[in-house]
Chains A and B, each alone.
Chain A
Amino acid sequence: MKKTILLRVLLCGVWLLTFSLLASAQNKQITGNVSDEKGSPIAGASVVAKGSRTGTTTGLDGNFTLSVSSSVKKIVISYVGYTSQDVDISSGAAIKVILQPDAGSLTDVVVVGYGTARKKDLTGAVATVKEKDFNKGVITAPDQLIQGKAAGVLVINNTGQPGGSTTIRIRGSSSIRSGNQPLFVIDGVPLSGGSSRPGAGGGGDYGSDGGNPLNFINPNDIASMEILKDASATAIYGSRGANGVIIITTKRGKSGAPKLDASASVGVSNVLKKLEVLNGDEYRKALQDYNISGGDYGGNEDAWDAITRSAITQNYNTAISGGTENGRYRVSAGYLNQEGVIENSQLKKITANLSSSFKFLESKKLGLDINVLVTQTNENIAPISAFVGFTGNVVSQALQWNPTLKLRQSKDSITTLGGTTINPLSSLAYYKDKATVNTIIASFSPSYKITDDLEYKFLYSVNRQVGVRKGMADRRLNLEGVLDHGTAFIGNNEQTNQQITNTLNYNKEVTSGFNVNAVIGHEWLIFDNRYNFMNGKDYKNIGLDYYDYIQQGVTSNRNIASYASPTTELQSFFARAILNFQDKYLVTGTFRADGSTRFGENKKYGYFPSLGVAWNVNNESFMKNNDIFRNLKLRFGWGKTGNQEFVSGASLARFSIAGNDGGYSQTNFANPDLKWETSTTTNAGIDFEILGGRLYGSVDYFYKKTTDVLFERTLAQPAPNGKIWVNLDGYVLNKGWEISLTGGLISNENINWNITGNASFLQNTVKGLAGFYETGELRGQGFSDVRGQRVVSGQPLNVWYLGVFEGIDKSTGQSIYKNGDPSANKYYIGSPNPKMILGLSTDFSYKKFSATINMNGTFGQYIFNNTAATVLGIGNLGSRNIAKSILNTNAKEAVSNAPAPSTRYLEKGNYLKMANATLSYNIGDIGKAFKNVNISLTGQNLFVITKYTGFDPEVSTDGGYNGIPSLGIDYIPYPSARTVILGVNFSL
């Protein structure tokens, strides 16, 4: 109690002091206003007369008044997170100061998992991306915000589908099986990584992309994202930390009068790149050249234009925040309506978010944080699946459409061909596929300060997600199994994940120059998934959607299924201590014990230690007089982290229920020794800041060895399912360099120009694996059971294994391959894993104008252009369309030439993409109501520098086989879009 009174006295004292200073007559009085780079007033900025202790802080409106001795020439204005400014006051005029955010600020606080740490105390490899540095444009999920923004982080938008899935790799892929995505933690709630959006199914080829499981987060609510890369940083997440951890921190309310922030934007998207196929006249000429009699229907049709459109995206966000010292809140709502560039496809998202923080008791020792996030996403999914064979999806159907044939016979009549050629307009008209996902994440977190240094915190969270998907294929669609039948399905998925976390934080300067920041905790997570599914067949057209009267299908063609996952529980104990000796020597020790229901009976608990040390060289006395470095820190870390992304029940003998005939069979052998996969990471890094803070950056080297590799390996037959989950003897090695640099080129009152870049160089190798495993399923006409990638010792993960194409034989028109038949002569050739990842950003501001440009690229990876191989080959001539490029070869390719899986379609995927560029103008206040009005124009995906011939080298359609994921396959994906967005935001 005494302390509280003391605090109050102190607070009052500040005001008393201000008034007393005002009263003193021999001083001169300075007035002014402090605002941030956007023009918003900064409250609480410190204003101090240089060389004295006289000072004040700014008020809520950013204004200050300071009385100083008349001898004072300069004042220093500073605020946490911003670069301090010295301001000349000799003129005596009112001062207007705009503080620039200090990206390299060492006083930053970084969220490190179960607590925070000062950036200067970090020993691990942690990258922070703040709101102002996020990518701009139409962003549906948070991972897109950081693409190209942090070294060592690869983000691939797998397709151009609105809300489509992404591939995220932090420091390469270390698992052979699936489960290479990092762990996402949002405000202390670790996510399961799954989504309740049901998969496609039930006849016909519905859209296959699983969607981004993070779609439920409104990017506009995110304040910052921290990427924990090495074991010293991620070991606190133990058996889920091996792929790195991305911590999302949402925006919080600040104390003050209620403030309303609003933004609105509208954008227009068009297809980024159109693949070149023949037009009607060119097609006719090709038919003549090849002496093909049929195939000319006389017209000139562009099927691509018929399925694509200029798509409109609208995005509205509003947030109200404010509060007092003892209760702060932020309530926000967002609405996104994104049309896809393929007709009919659409993503709508409605989000509401409440974050609040309260303090109770007279002592204010009892705190309570309550966060609630509610989201609904609604999708109209385009009939684009990567699992289709020669009948294709709407993209391939449009590309292949015979350009001499009219798409419609009349306004109401879509041209229908016999057999297997499907009119893309039929696909658009006769498919319906809708998904709705509702998400609620609520967390309740009381805390209590036991002493000033020791705080206990409890967190309970529940993450409930329910997804419904309904689809139908009209009986008029001339697809085998659909024509004259019609199919429909309804799928329901639900997941409920709960968390209880107890932590005890201790943060104290124990003795002079010795700081301890420690946490111990216990966590319990439980995951529950369920689904049910039904499909039907044989419907009459009565003007309604089949899935709304699914009972009308023929009884014997109904399928129903339900499934409830095994309960998955994770119980953990963890501890971390960050020790700081005189700001020079830093030690971080972390330990986590994870128990998981998934682990085998003999291996219930895994232990994950890590140790990091750092030396702030710059704080040594011998560096006192150096004026080169403002910061120089050497870091070294070692630790073990785990990955437990294998199916529940893998360690037990299981009997699965088969179909509807009462049968079941054993599908798994028991492996009581099954355990987590362990990644041992060594990281060495250096942080520096030179030229008075105008150039700063980091260089890191990492060496990550993943052992006990989780794998469902082939079992000596006879055996259930032929496979068993084991920890393999082999290992996966990822090593590389990461460099990130930021330079302030110009910084003065009117002009500010910064450039930031990061580059990572990665090397990935599989070692010690017995035999090989196939993946990389290539699909389409003539490509049944064709897999182009292997996992094999001595090669990178997913190395391409293909025949080598040597050209077209001029006499026969047939392909020539190295050593003959490409099916019998295959070679390890190229890797789909990038060797270098590059991110470049620059922001420039001149007075009220500012411009930001973000570019990213990957280099060294090879992409298999499966679209070119099996959709637009010469064999189509006479019935379907072909790629224009085939005709431009020196040798005339024979129509009968088979497109064997070979290097003919393996292309370098190097690219550099103008991901987004924004030009904005800060109007300032309009009248008394609108404050800080800002308008912006953003271009997204403006251009791509690449030699790759497909839609977009940033692509990865699903070619996984037997649970081993693929990478770098481009098979008729949803095409990427280029978007121009006009936005406005303001405050009230």
Chain B
Amino acid sequence: MKFLKTIFYILLMTFAFSCTKLEENFNSEITQNDVSNITAEGLLTTTYNSFATYQDGNFWHLQEHTSDEAIAPTRGPDWDDNGQWRALHAHTWNADHGQISGAFSDLLSAQFNASNVLQFNPNAQQAAEARFLRALSIFSVLDGWNQVPYRENLTDYRLDPVTLKGTEASDFIVSELNAIMNDLPDNVPAYTASKNAARVLLMKTYLNRGVFTDDRSNPTFDAADMNQVITLADEIINSGKYVLSASGKYFDNFAPNNDAVSKENIFTFYNQNGVRGADIRNAWYQIAHYNMDPGGWNGFATLSDFYDKFEASDERRGIKYNYPGTLPNPGNRKNVGMLIGQQYNMTTDAPLEDRKGNPLAFTREVSLRETGDNLEVTGIRVEKYPYDYATSGDQKNNDWAYYRYADVLLMKAEALLRTGKAADGLTIVNSIRAARGASPLASLTVDNMLDERGRELYWEGWRREDLIRFGKYLSAWQEKSADDPKNLLFPIPSSQLAVNPNLVQNPGY
């Protein structure tokens, strides 16, 4: 008895005082206590991926749906989505708009990821790539909101980010890009940041330097900035790496195999099924009717005024395009570009019908709130990224073309135009038009310069920026009336205002 009692007392004491230290062991994640296992390389990969917002993501929506190029009509019961699409097109958003908050957050997360690469002993090229991506994120936030929260301390969440604004932010981008230029590589695939990619970003920064100020209603174009644009363009041209696509090959820049066949892509975001990338297939799903192949979500369209800017011969408006994995298309129907009128089954050439059995023929006109009997088929659809039928996975292989050679040429032409050398600019613009099958322009003006940028770069995520730089963003266009200058900047999301005392709401919101 005594013996047993003793054993129990011992057991009791043992258990009662065998305290654990309550340390958390992670099994599938790496913690702050184990940072030696973290490499800059792994963080850099994720940083590239965090720019998915440019590819049919939130930021793309902000750049295109607020412009005269794109519209997401409410089609009866479809696409109401709490009015978010109507607010973008009609410029009636507020500080709680989901996509505005989403884009702000997406871009700043990318900034954090880029900055974080620098904390983990990157080599010179990795550091340069990370700083390029950070500059890219800063550029887009500056473009959209004018205020760029910038976090210097990456470990203590209680320290508030500082805010870079206007020209100060532009200058920061310039100084960053100049500092890293020598460390960036020359001969890398387009989806890796290169010297030429940094040059394009520098060009865009100089071109918009007089726009990206606190007051965006009066853009200025300093000659020195424009000359920088021209000099940088020449450096890219002289690198001899790029030429304009041959006739009939405009869509090579967007095809599933564009990483191999594009001659124009300077910087892209990599999409490769089973490896990495974003949801590039949405470029198809958002425009395709339910009964097309594959059935889409029957959403976005472009506007007839924009469609009318093209000549019929302009291949950018749409052609029958052959690419690896394309469907047979026995009727030789247009399968890329702007889809209008009767649509066909691309395998059998049978005319398609809508869900009510009426012909599936996309109409020229579309309104922001569709209420008619034909609401399923209104609006011209834009198919810029040829659908990758060959890849059965959800992740398609078209890389997202972000910086293109044609954009570089157009920016050079614009800089020439803005420094009184319209004739030199016209030569460049007409060389592009010739490559696309369009007739030459007689003269280059601010207006047709903007139109040409629209024709060349439509749905690539630049339209809002262009409209603001050309002073047209507040004008009335189809399904939108003229609006208030406050809309030149997006509101700071109210959720961020609440937690960051260094942000102030943009005027008018």
Contact = CB atoms under 8 A, between A and B. Distances in A.
A295 B356 contact: yes
A823 B87 contact: yes
Given A781-B78, A785-B98, A662 B41 contact: yes
A661 B394 contact: no
A659 to B, nearest CB: 6
A786 B20 contact: no
29 contacts: A294-B356, A419-B289, A481-B394, A504-B12, A537-B392, A556-B273, A557-B393, A597-B24, A599-B22, A651-B24, A653-B31, A657-B30, A663-B43, A664-B30, A664-B38, A664-B42, A665-B46, A665-B47, A670-B157, A715-B157, A717-B161, A718-B115, A720-B112, A722-B108, A782-B80, A823-B82, A874-B77, A896-B370, A900-B80
B77 A782 contact: yes
A896 B371 contact: yes
A875 B78 contact: yes
A771 B494 contact: yes
A721 B105 CA distance: 9
A661 B496 contact: no
A91 interface: no
Given A714-B496, A782-B80, A419 B291 contact: yes
Interface string A801-822: 0000000000000100000011
A436 B323 CA distance: 46
B355 A875 contact: no
B29 A657 contact: yes
B23 interface: yes
**Sorted from nearest, which 5 A-B pairs have the closest CB atoms?**
A823-B83, A875-B77, A663-B45, A564-B27, A294-B357
B123 interface: no
Nearest to B104: A717
B26 A654 contact: yes
Given A662-B45, A665-B116, A666-B113, A898 B290 contact: no
Interface string A734-748: 000000000000000
A628 interface: no
B30 A419 contact: no
Interface in B46-71: 46-47, 49-50
B108 A870 contact: no
Interface residues of B, number: 96
Given A456-B8, A671-B157, A898 B392 contact: no
Contacts of B239: none
Interface of A: 292-295, 361, 363, 366, 390, 418-421, 448, 450, 456, 458, 480-481, 483, 485, 500, 502, 504, 522, 524, 530, 537-538, 554-558, 562-569, 571, 595-599, 604, 648-649, 651-667, 669-671, 713-722, 724, 770-771, 781-786, 814, 821-824, 870, 873-876, 878-879, 894-901
A905 B103 CA distance: 31
A684 B44 CA distance: 59
A502 B495 CA distance: 48
Given A554-B393, A666-B116, A785-B98, A719 B29 contact: no
B24 A652 contact: yes
Given A537-B393, A554-B392, A870 B24 contact: no
B500 A663 contact: no
A288 to B, nearest CB: 14
A649 B79 contact: no
Contacts of A557: 273-274, 392-393
A784 B58 CA distance: 13
B16 A895 contact: no
B161 A718 contact: yes
Interface string B481-509: 00000000000001110111010000000
Interface in B368-406: 369-373, 375, 391-394
Contacts of A878: 355-356
Given A648-B24, A649-B29, A538 B392 contact: yes
A256 to B, nearest CB: 30
B442 interface: no
Contacts of B478: none
Contacts of A876: 77
B28 A657 contact: yes
Given A823-B87, A898-B369, 10 more contacts: A361-B4, A450-B5, A537-B392, A556-B273, A556-B274, A565-B28, A653-B155, A665-B116, A785-B99, A823-B80
Interface string B1-23: 10011001001100110011011
A305 to B, nearest CB: 24
Interface of B: 1, 4-5, 8, 11-12, 15-16, 19-20, 22-33, 38, 41-47, 49-50, 74, 76-84, 86-87, 92, 94, 98-99, 104-105, 108-109, 111-113, 115-116, 149-151, 155-157, 160-161, 273-276, 285, 289-291, 294-295, 355-358, 369-373, 375, 391-394, 494-496, 498-500, 502
Contact of B391 (A363, A418, A556, A900): A556
Nearest to A653: B32
Contact of B500 (A571, A716, A895): A716
B19 A669 contact: no
B78 A480 contact: no
A802 to B, nearest CB: 10
B355 A500 contact: no
A901 B86 CA distance: 15
A717 B105 contact: yes
Interface of A is mostly: loop
Given A554-B392, A571-B19, A870-B77, A670 B32 contact: yes
Nearest to B18: A524
Nearest to B502: A716
Contacts of B83: 821-824, 900
B68 to A, nearest CB: 22
A658 B355 contact: no
A717 B141 CA distance: 12
B46 A717 contact: no
Contact of B26 (A649, A782, A785, A814): A649
Contacts of B27: 530, 563-567
Contacts of B373: 292, 895-896
B26 A597 contact: no
Contacts of A390: 78
B112 A717 contact: yes
Contacts of B113: 665-666, 720
Contacts of B43: 663-666
A148 B495 CA distance: 40
B31 A652 contact: yes
Nearest to A720: B112
Contacts of B393: 537, 554, 556-557
B81 A782 contact: yes
A558 B42 contact: no
Nearest to A420: B290
Contact of A420 (B12, B156, B295, B494): B295
B78 A524 contact: no
A206 to B, nearest CB: 16
Contacts of A665: 43, 46-47, 50, 113, 116
A826 to B, nearest CB: 9
Contact of B274 (A555, A654, A717): A555
Contacts of A660: 274-276
B491 to A, nearest CB: 14
Contacts of B29: 566, 649, 654-657, 667
Contacts of A718: 108-109, 111-112, 115, 149-151, 161
A501 B189 CA distance: 61
A652 B5 CA distance: 45
B357 A771 contact: no
B392 A783 contact: no
Contacts of A719: 108-109, 112, 151, 157
Given A564-B27, A654-B31, A714 B81 contact: no
A905 to B, nearest CB: 13
Contacts of B498: 714, 770-771
Contacts of B11: 458
